């Protein structure tokens, strides 16, 4: 336990101390929130969708968690390239514990970032529907964060260097985000699109956050929780397996 | 003296290419052992195998009586290592880096505190214990890594190019710490270096590896006698057919050197 704790603490200290990274990571979600929220707000309202900021905010929270979580998973490459990973791998500690400690650390940081986005969004007029459901939304944040930290770790174990990084952002993270229903409702879209959204784990995270924060679910909160936790478990298993097989 | 590291017929293949080709050697407890060879000769691969980071294709290894393939955690407890590239967390303080290591090696809190203080004082970093590692010079980082490597009382200390990229004064300084610790802690030192004069000065015994094979091993006198030369540098050239420093540097090495310069 102590080992997992110190790995977790390290991630938190790094996050806390790097204010530039913390603020930098807020830039993109806030830009999306302001530009899209106010830009599409009137049209959305006219089309009968209601308050767009209310609809958009859960999606933006999911987005910021998606990015930070995936990156903190991929940070394994960084640590591998710049040596620190070796320090943990030659220690008399199982790789599983190292992976779990890192994942919990990365997930904690991502959830914190998600909460900050949530707080800031209230300045732009977002209002959570209930305090009680706010705590349920935390479960979704934790699930999204854990899932994508594990996904990031798995990707990092498969890559040999950072060159594929841009590829991952453009062909993996961005599509996951845009095709998750974070920015627009999934009702009435072409079948192919709906199908993609249905196999996109982030869609269930976005849906769960929207259900608990803005009261407009599509799949239903229980479907969301079950599918999301199932996928999270699978990716934790894949991530730990790949991490245990990784050679440095 | 007992053999603390025994390697017999060790082979490591990468996609059919033998990086390490049936090497055998042993290191005696308490000695300073130099492991030399040109770039790409198999030094780092051998160290990675000994330190459980890579699995050998075949061969036998015993580290203080333990087989890394059977009991990796036992083996991991027996050694400390300073890697070729810095492996500190720049965004933690010197003390936090030590503390992190101590917890990973399951050292109880009270002992950990005392031991960290003792080692940081030896490498003269106690005054700077709360400074971030990113503000340290190259020499200070190396000293901290050596102190960290010794925190859990290992029997063996691996040093992979401990002085690469450092100026001559700092290099001397680092070696005087290592020699002192070798005596006071009784720790066996296994090191690689590109500086022949360092190996000549500090090593009790030397092994030279080239193209994955050990081409010579023994004391400095043995090597000089065998090659009928007067210095280790000449012996090395005569054994491997090249000067250790003048060969072609791969782009990876160049990047590494540049990064090193940039960071230090």
The better pLDDT of the pair B101, B251 is held by B101
The predicted-structure confidence for A21-79, as pLDDT tens digits, reads as follows 888 889 999 999 999 999 999 999 998 888 999 999 999 999 999 999 999 998 888 88
Q: C-alpha angle with apex B32: B26 to B36, nearest 5 degrees?
A: 70
B237, two tokens: 């050239």
Size of interface A-B (CB pairs under 8 A): 68
Evaluate if residue B248 carries a pLDDT over 70.
no
User: Which residues in A lie closer than 8 A to residue B131 (C-beta atoms)?
Assistant: none
- Give the contacts of A163 (CB within 8 A, at least 6 positions apart): none
- The answer, yes or no, to whether residue B247 has pLDDT greater than 70, is no
Minimal C-alpha gap between B52 and chain A (Å): 7
Q: Among B189, B167, B165, which Cα is nearest to B177's?
A: B189
Which residue did the predictor score with more confidence, B148 or B233? B148
Contact criterion met (CB < 8 Å) for B86 and A17: no
Of B51, B52, B92, nearest to A10 by CB-CB distance is: B92
Chain A's closest residue to B109, CA to CA, is: A2
Helix (H) or strand (E) holding B159: strand B156-160
Nearest CA in chain B to A87: B87
Interface contact flag, B85 A83, Cβ < 8 Å: yes
User: Which ipTM was obtained for this model?
Assistant: 0.86
The total number of structural domains in chain A stands at 1
CA A80 to CA B109: how far, in whole Å?
A: 28
Residues 6+ positions from A159 with CB-CB distance below 8 Å: A77
* A101: nearest CA partner in chain B: B104
Average pLDDT over residues B103-114: 94
Confidence of residue B96 (pLDDT cuts 50, 70, 90): very high
The pLDDT, as a whole number, for residue B235 is 86
pLDDT tens-digit readout, B186-217 = 999 999 988 888 999 999 999 999 989 999 89
Residue of B nearest to A92 (CA): B73
At B34-89, the pLDDT tens digits run 999 888 888 989 999 999 988 999 999 999 999 998 898 999 999 999 998 889 99
Q: How far is A50 from chain B (nearest CA, A)?
A: 46
Which residues of chain A are within 8 Å of residue B99 when distances are taken between CB atoms?
6
Per-residue confidence band for B264, with pLDDT thresholds at 50, 70 and 90: very low
Q: Could you tell me where the DSSP H helices lie in A189-220?
A: 191-199, 201-213
- Give contacts of B73 with chain A, Cβ < 8 Å: 92-94
Q: Do A6 and B53 touch (CB under 8 A)?
A: no
Cβ separation of A88 and B83 shorter than 8 Å? no
* Contact check, Cβ <8 Å, B85/A14: no
**pLDDT at position A6, please?**
95
SS3 B81: strand
Cα(B111)–Cα(B130) distance, integer angstroms: 19
Identify the H or E element spanning B58.
strand B58-63
The two structure tokens encoding residue A85: 């990973």
Q: Compute the nearest-CA separation of A94 from chain B (Å).
A: 8
Q: How far is A161 from chain B (nearest CA, A)?
A: 12
What does the pLDDT read at residue A168? 85
Domain boundaries, chain B: 29-53+74-263
- Predicted confidence at residue B140, as pLDDT, reads 93
Asked if CATH classification 3.40.50.300 holds for the domain at B29-53+74-263, the reply, yes or no, is: yes
Alpha-carbon torsion, ordered B66, B72, B78, B81, to 10 deg: 130
- Domain containing A123 equals 2-245
pLDDT of B8 higher than 90:
yes
Q: Please determine, for residue B249, whether its predicted confidence score (pLDDT) is greater than 60.
A: no
Nearest to B88 among A18, A84, A248 (CB): A84
Mean pLDDT score, B14-39: 92
Lowest mean pLDDT among A125-134, B121-130, B174-183, B248-257: B248-257
Q: How many CB atoms lie within 10 A of CB B39?
A: 16
Under an 8 A CB cutoff, do A92 and B73 touch?
Answer: yes
Out of A10, A82, A89, whose CB is closest to B100?
A10
**Partner-chain residue, chosen from A3, A83, A93, that has the shortest CB–CB distance to B83:** A83
Chain B residues lying within 8 Å of A85, measured CB to CB: 87
**Most confident stretch, A160-169, B108-117, B228-237:** B108-117
User: Which residues of chain A are under the pLDDT cut of 70?
Assistant: none
pLDDT of residue B252: 56
Q: What is the pLDDT of residue B228?
A: 87
């Amino acid at each position: 336990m102590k080992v997992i704790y110190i790995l977790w603490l390290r991630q938190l200290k790094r996050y806390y101390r790097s204010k530039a990274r913390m603020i930098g990571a807020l830039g993109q979600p806030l830009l999306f929130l302001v530009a899209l929220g106010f830009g599409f707000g009137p049209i959305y309202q006219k089309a009968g969708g209601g308050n767009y900021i209310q609809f958009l905010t859960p999606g933006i929270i999911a987005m910021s968690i998606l990015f930070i979580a995936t990156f903190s998973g991929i940070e394994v490459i960084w640590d591998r390239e710049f040596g620190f990973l070796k320090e943990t791998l030659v220690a008399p500690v199982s790789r599983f514990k190292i992976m779990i400690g890192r994942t919990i650390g990365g997930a904690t940081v991502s959830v914190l970032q998600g909460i900050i986005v949530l707080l800031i969004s209230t300045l732009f007029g977002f209002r959570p529907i209930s305090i009680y459901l706010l705590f349920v939304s935390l479960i979704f944040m934790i699930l999204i964060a854990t899932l994508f930290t594990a996904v990031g770790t798995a990707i990092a174990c498969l890559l040999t260097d950072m060159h594929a990084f841009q590829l991952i952002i453009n062909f993996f993270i961005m599509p996951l985000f845009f095709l998750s229903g974070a920015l627009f409702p999934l009702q009435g879209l072409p079948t192919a699109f709906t199908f993609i959204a249905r196999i996109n784990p982030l869609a269930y995270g976005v849906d769960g956050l929207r259900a608990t924060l803005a009261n407009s679910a599509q799949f239903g909160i229980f479907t969301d929780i079950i599918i999301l936790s199932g996928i999270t478990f699978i990716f934790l298993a894949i991530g730990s397996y790949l991490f245990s097989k990784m050679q440095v | 003296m007992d053999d603390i590291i025994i390697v017999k017929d060790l082979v490591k293949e990468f996609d059919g290419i033998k990086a390490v080709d049936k090497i055998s050697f042993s290191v005696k407890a308490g000695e300073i052992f130099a492991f030399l060879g040109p770039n790409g000769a198999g030094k780092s691969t051998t160290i990675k195998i000994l330190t459980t980071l890579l699995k050998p294709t075949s061969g036998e290894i015993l580290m203080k009586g333990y087989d890394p393939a059977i009991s990796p955690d036992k083996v991991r407890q027996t050694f400390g290592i300073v890697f070729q590239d810095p492996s500190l967390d720049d965004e933690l303080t010197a003390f936090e880096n030590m503390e992190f290591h101590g917890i990973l090696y399951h050292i109880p809190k009270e002992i950990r505190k005392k031991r960290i203080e003792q080692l940081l004082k030896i490498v003269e970093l106690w005054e700077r214990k709360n400074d971030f590692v990113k503000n340290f010079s190259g020499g200070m980082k190396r000293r901290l890594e050596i102190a960290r490597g010794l925190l859990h009382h290992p029997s063996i200390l691996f040093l992979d190019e401990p002085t690469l990229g450092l100026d001559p004064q700092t290099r001397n300084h680092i070696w005087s710490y290592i020699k002192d610790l070798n005596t006071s802690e009784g720790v066996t030192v296994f090191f690689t270096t590109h500086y022949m004069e360092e190996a000549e000065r500090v090593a009790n015994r030397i092994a030279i590896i080239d193209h994955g094979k050990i081409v010579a091993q023994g004391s400095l006198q043995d090597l000089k006698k065998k090659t009928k030369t007067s210095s280790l540098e000449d012996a090395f050239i005569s054994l491997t057919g090249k000067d250790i420093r003048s060969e072609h540097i791969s782009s990876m090495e160049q990047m590494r050197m540049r990064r090193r310069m940039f960071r230090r």
